[in-house]
Chain A
Amino acid sequence: MEQIIIGNYKDIEEKRARIVQVNGVEISVFKLSSGEIRAIENRCPHKGGKLSEGIVSGHHVFCPLHDWKIDMNDGVVQAPDEGCIATYQVTVAENGDLQLDPNPVLSDTSCEAS
């Protein structure tokens, strides 16, 4: 598995996100209230809103532009809206390094990474 280091666990505040640019794709890296890290493409499938700026609730984030709700576990937009975005695997190393696999995980075949 390919992995790159994108900063440290303590760089991100709880229920907040930081942005990272990898191979021309903007990825938003979140820290959930549980302490877990989630990484998703930073482009809302609706009109490209920056999800990094959204309000985080559990493993969901609300897009700041028009309030779509997106599940960060699989990138799927919640009903009644529809759509999905790519998610990325991040592992936290013992020293806190965040290791990101730059290959998107697509839970849904109709969903394409940009």
Chain B
Amino acid sequence: MKKKLVMVGNGMAGVASIEHLLKLAPQKYDITIFGSEPHPNYNRIMLSSVLAGDTEMKDIVLNDWNWYKENNITLHAGHTVNQIDTKNKTVSTDTGMTESYDELILATGSLPFMLPLPGADKEGVIAFRDIHDCETMIETAKQYRKAVVIGGGLLGLEAARGLLNLNMDVSVVHIYKHLMERQLDQTAAIMLQRELESQGMKFLLEKNSDSITGKQRVTGLKFDDGTWAEADLIVMAVGIRPNIGLAKEAGMEVNRGIVVNDFLETSFPNVYAIGECAEHRGIAYGLVAPLYEQGAVLAKRLAGTETDGYHGSVTSTKLKVSGVNVFSAGQFADDVNSRSIRVQDDFNGIYKKVVIKNGRVIGSVLFGDTSDSSSIFSMIRNGDDVTGKEKEILLADDASGKGKSDVELVAAMSDDEIVCGCNGVSKSDIVAAINDKGCTSVGEIKACTKASGGCGSCKNLVEGLLTHTLGEDGVTTVKEGICECTSLGRDEVVAAIRDMKLTTSKEVMHVLEWENKEGCSKCRPALNYYLGMVWPEEHEDERESRFVNERNHANIQKDGRYSVVPRMYGGVTTPEDLMKIAEVAVKYKAELVKVTGGQRLDLFGIEKEDLPKVWAELGMESGYAYGKALRTVKTCVGSTWCRFGTQDSIQMGVDLEKKFQRMNTPAKVKMAVSGCPRNCAEATIKDYGVVAIDGGWEIYVGGNGGTDVRAADTLVRVKTSEEVIEWSGAYMQYYRENANYNERTSKWIERVGIDAIKEALAEPEERKALFDRLDKALSLLEDPWKEVVEHEELRKSFEKLAVNEQLAN
């Protein structure tokens, strides 16, 4: 008969150990788990990113309800164990359940430490530990504005950052003069404070909390120096205490945590403790990496596999706040016997410190640039002797002094060592994914094991493991292709399309041996673009490979309805067109009519089925607000009206838009024309910008006003509007032929350099040849709205299938 294994605590440490056990001895135990929280096991670390809005609650579940079912584990979620009877080997719960065990694991984690301040029981005073706390903060932020976080450590700062993202006004109270004093020295702490202040966080340092004010709900926090801070919400993040109440009552040996030996055994036979509740060699850890290591040892113990036990962990910490890179490990404070190497650059916000004692690295603090963290951490862990090479750790630029490469680092790791701390993935898990499941890229490893899918800081190590496992030759095959279906890059694919005269995606995927026969959502639109660019006449546009917006010629909204933007050349309209737009908006119940940032009108909330009718009734051309194509050409008033204007910018803009409308491009293209250097049309942040000067035009390229703002580079200065068009066409075609799919001109120019582009366009014959090729492509295009309106078979796909109520049999 199977033995009965009972676990108290359904958290990260316990469940990780059970997962491990199931791999080693799937049939050995009948497993029952009790957990106080009404959730399956989730990734507590990621609560910070849920709070910050980067991740969703359901995406942090590590083992869903199904996992328990599939592994025949009985889970009692929402039941708290309140008694252990070690004599009769049973546990019982607050809900009246009793369960007997052969082996018992305690994995009860920690309790947040709540300062015993008068008023701490008021509404609005919480900790930051579980899903419930996280939900409370999100709800509170909808109604209230002022938040005070007590505690300037890791947890407090992550909570504060999250609350900032929830639009709260956040002050962090800290008892000491410096933030994160347990992980950072003064220098790093000051840099951190500066950075967080610039993100909008406020600090109340060296403040001792005295009491919490308010009637039922908190209104503020009083300090012992008589000052007071307003607060609608107080989050206490002042520390954690191992959750040992249950063990203590049962008479187990406890200290700060439940005392365990190297095999995670407590003072009672058949009872083990792991995770934050356990104390091993005097240390109760508060981070996940040690818990996974402990879990692996306990799993072996329970499976009856040989293990030489757990010998403690060296830990490192990182702050999970976007825009801030902080790393800390080991003993980072100086003492009489240690020496340290430091690099400090206040202007770039970089600080690095490595502490060395008896020739060995014993601790480090890195701020701003943490790229050396994995190599330094490995030196600390391995106790490498660095005598005579101390300075090279941080200072050497030559390869020899760069410390160890990621490949060497991972080679030195033990199999159980955790590579991905967020998801508890060990070196051996990743190696197994490479060897047994054939993973050959970081992406595949992420899909198989979740490694690098959390904060992403272990990506280098995962790459190192790939190289280490597959060998140098394997590395070439690891090269990332345009998507996961192929290892070929853009240039190779386009060359094959040209050289072998491939004219359909199907051919490309077949000839180039796509791993996934029909491609994916990444390569299919890309191939369709490349084919159309190389073979404008021969290639027939593949609607089924277009992204929804380009297939339905409108922008899909989050509710599945669409927005419609007709062209308004150069931002100029007429009363007649405005009336037409108004009529259609009323008739088809557009929920919102908005002037866009591109100088035209947008009708929102149109049903898919109505799109062809809307287009027909508007009788205007598509504005391509959805396409990888020419979007708008913004213009300013120019010389026809403006007292400063030197050229007719409106006409120039209208001409450009009429010339290049419908042009397919690797990524969207925006243009603008300003009538004088005051540049009211913002031409210098456009893909192609034109600014009038006295007697001519200045042409700018590669500007972007989106995610990464980039001021355009000057391409050339010309005299006439014909030249503006000519340069524009040549430049656009050169971009069409050379950029990666989905690469805006700004990124492309950063990659290849403006000089390369100037050179390519220098000769008039070259420009003409480019222009002619573009002209050919443009001549084959028709307005897509008109096409749909005129062709019944195209319209059909906008309609729903009709249900024939009569039953088939």
Chain A interface residues toward B at CB < 8 A:
2-7, 11, 13-16, 18-22, 29, 33, 47-50, 53-58, 62, 64-65, 67, 69, 79-80, 82, 93, 97-99, 108, 110
- From 539 to 566 in chain B, residues with beta carbon under 8 angstroms from any chain A beta carbon are 543-545, 547-548, 551-552, 556, 558-560
Taking CB atoms, residues of chain B closer than 8 Å to A108 are 66
Whole-angstrom distance between the Cβ of A81 and the nearest chain B Cβ: 8
Cβ A58 vs Cβ B518 within 8 A: yes
Cβ B521 vs Cβ A54 within 8 A: yes
Partner of B548, one of A13, A64, A97, A99: A64
Greatest chain B CB density within 10 A among A53, A57, A93 is at A57
**B800 beta carbon closer than 8 Å to chain A:** yes
**B809 beta carbon closer than 8 Å to chain A:** yes
- 10 example contacts (A-B, Cβ-Cβ < 8 A) are as follows A5-B804, A6-B801, A6-B802, A57-B518, A62-B520, A64-B556, A67-B521, A80-B447, A80-B450, A93-B808
Taking CB atoms, residues of chain A closer than 8 Å to B61 are 82
Whole-angstrom distance between the Cβ of A46 and the nearest chain B Cβ: 9
**B65 beta carbon closer than 8 Å to chain A:** yes
Cβ B804 vs Cβ A4 within 8 A: yes
Cβ B803 vs Cβ A20 within 8 A: yes
Cβ A2 vs Cβ B803 within 8 A: no
Given the interface pairs A4-B807, A21-B800, the reply to whether A50 lies near B560 with Cβ below 8 Å is yes
Convert B33-68 into 0s and 1s, putting 1 for each residue whose CB lies closer than 8 angstroms to a CB of A.
000000000000000000000000000010011100
A21 to B548, CA, bound (A): 20
Task: Bin chain B's interface residue count.
Answer: 35 or more
Cβ B548 vs Cβ A18 within 8 A: no
Cβ B800 vs Cβ A58 within 8 A: no
Taking CB atoms, residues of chain A closer than 8 Å to B517 are 58
Closest residue of chain B to A22 (Cβ to Cβ) is B803
Partner of A110, one of B65, B544, B803: B65
A98 to B525, CA, bound (A): 30
Cβ A6 vs Cβ B560 within 8 A: no
Taking CB atoms, residues of chain B closer than 8 Å to A15 are 518, 544
Taking CB atoms, residues of chain A closer than 8 Å to B800 are 18-21
A13 to B796, CA, bound (A): 10
**B167 beta carbon closer than 8 Å to chain A:** no
Taking CB atoms, residues of chain B closer than 8 Å to A5 are 803-804, 806, 808
Convert B649-660 into 0s and 1s, putting 1 for each residue whose CB lies closer than 8 angstroms to a CB of A.
000000000000
Closest residue of chain A to B517 (Cβ to Cβ) is A58
A28 to B26, CA, bound (A): 41
Cβ A99 vs Cβ B544 within 8 A: no
Cβ A7 vs Cβ B801 within 8 A: yes
A64 to B555, CA, bound (A): 11
**B519 beta carbon closer than 8 Å to chain A:** yes
Taking CB atoms, residues of chain B closer than 8 Å to A99 are 808
Given the interface pairs A13-B797, A53-B548, A57-B519, the reply to whether A4 lies near B805 with Cβ below 8 Å is yes
**B446 beta carbon closer than 8 Å to chain A:** yes
Whole-angstrom distance between the Cβ of A59 and the nearest chain B Cβ: 10
Whole-angstrom distance between the Cβ of B26 and the nearest chain A Cβ: 21
**B476 beta carbon closer than 8 Å to chain A:** no
Whole-angstrom distance between the Cβ of A64 and the nearest chain B Cβ: 4
Cβ B797 vs Cβ A16 within 8 A: yes
- From 517 to 543 in chain B, residues with beta carbon under 8 angstroms from any chain A beta carbon are 517-521, 524-525, 543
Given the interface pairs A16-B544, A67-B521, the reply to whether A82 lies near B64 with Cβ below 8 Å is yes
- New A-B pairs, 12, CB < 8 Å, besides A13-B544, A48-B559, A110-B66: A3-B808, A3-B809, A4-B803, A4-B806, A13-B797, A18-B797, A20-B801, A20-B803, A21-B803, A55-B521, A56-B518, A93-B808
Convert B790-804 into 0s and 1s, putting 1 for each residue whose CB lies closer than 8 angstroms to a CB of A.
000000110111111
A21 to B251, CA, bound (A): 64
Cβ A19 vs Cβ B548 within 8 A: no
Taking CB atoms, residues of chain B closer than 8 Å to A20 are 800-803
Closest residue of chain B to A68 (Cβ to Cβ) is B521
Cβ B807 vs Cβ A16 within 8 A: no
Taking CB atoms, residues of chain B closer than 8 Å to A65 are 556, 558
Cβ A4 vs Cβ B808 within 8 A: yes
Closest residue of chain A to B802 (Cβ to Cβ) is A7
**B596 beta carbon closer than 8 Å to chain A:** no
Cβ B453 vs Cβ A80 within 8 A: yes
Given the interface pairs A13-B544, A33-B518, A57-B520, the reply to whether A97 lies near B803 with Cβ below 8 Å is no
A13 to B546, CA, bound (A): 14
**B516 beta carbon closer than 8 Å to chain A:** yes
Cβ B447 vs Cβ A6 within 8 A: no
Taking CB atoms, residues of chain A closer than 8 Å to B558 are 47, 65
Taking CB atoms, residues of chain B closer than 8 Å to A69 are 520-521
Cβ B446 vs Cβ A80 within 8 A: yes
Partner of A79, one of B447, B545, B548, B802: B447
Cβ A16 vs Cβ B520 within 8 A: no
Convert B709-732 into 0s and 1s, putting 1 for each residue whose CB lies closer than 8 angstroms to a CB of A.
000000000000000000000000
Taking CB atoms, residues of chain B closer than 8 Å to A64 are 547-548, 556
Q: Which 7 A-B pairs have the closest CB atoms?
A: A62-B521, A15-B544, A5-B804, A7-B801, A53-B548, A3-B808, A64-B548
A17 to B524, CA, bound (A): 17
Closest residue of chain B to A99 (Cβ to Cβ) is B808
Greatest chain A CB density within 10 A among B446, B447, B516, B801 is at B801
A33 to B804, CA, bound (A): 26
Partner of A2, one of B516, B797, B807: B807
Whole-angstrom distance between the Cβ of B499 and the nearest chain A Cβ: 26
Taking CB atoms, residues of chain B closer than 8 Å to A79 are 447-448
A15 to B528, CA, bound (A): 14
Closest residue of chain A to B61 (Cβ to Cβ) is A82
Whole-angstrom distance between the Cβ of B19 and the nearest chain A Cβ: 16
Closest residue of chain A to B549 (Cβ to Cβ) is A64
Whole-angstrom distance between the Cβ of A26 and the nearest chain B Cβ: 9
Cβ B516 vs Cβ A57 within 8 A: yes
Closest residue of chain A to B66 (Cβ to Cβ) is A110
Taking CB atoms, residues of chain A closer than 8 Å to B64 are 82, 110
Cβ A14 vs Cβ B544 within 8 A: yes
- From 418 to 465 in chain B, residues with beta carbon under 8 angstroms from any chain A beta carbon are 446-448, 450, 453
Closest residue of chain B to A55 (Cβ to Cβ) is B521
Taking CB atoms, residues of chain B closer than 8 Å to A54 are 521, 548
A22 to B524, CA, bound (A): 31
Taking CB atoms, residues of chain B closer than 8 Å to A62 are 520-521
Taking CB atoms, residues of chain A closer than 8 Å to B545 are 55
Closest residue of chain A to B805 (Cβ to Cβ) is A4
Whole-angstrom distance between the Cβ of B444 and the nearest chain A Cβ: 11
A53 to B805, CA, bound (A): 26
Closest residue of chain B to A23 (Cβ to Cβ) is B803
Whole-angstrom distance between the Cβ of B139 and the nearest chain A Cβ: 20
Taking CB atoms, residues of chain B closer than 8 Å to A48 are 559-560
A83 to B448, CA, bound (A): 16
Closest residue of chain A to B446 (Cβ to Cβ) is A80
